[in-house]
Amino acid sequence: MPEEIMENEGEKELIKQGICPVCKAKLRHTEGCIECTNCGWSLCLEA
């Protein structure tokens, strides 16, 4: 499903830029994780 892949890539790009993919607020980096203080979205990176 190409649309899903594109959405995923866009999300990754936003995260790379430090922007929440949900609400577009600035992300906060914590130990091994990235979180959005605005909407509560978070992502923990492994390794």
What is d(CA 44, CA 8) in angstroms, rounded to the nearest whole number? Answer: 16
Rule CB under 5 A: say whether 44 interacts with Zn ion.
no
Of 46, 16, 11, 15, residue with least CA distance to 31: 46
Phi, psi of 7 (to 5 degrees): -60, -40
Selected binder of Zn ion within 14, 15, 19, 38 (CB under 5 A): 38
Binding segment (CB under 5 A) for Zn ion, from list 1-9, 10-18, 30-38: 30-38
Selected binder of Zn ion within 8, 10, 12, 22 (CB under 5 A): 22
Rule CB under 5 A: say whether 6 interacts with Zn ion.
no
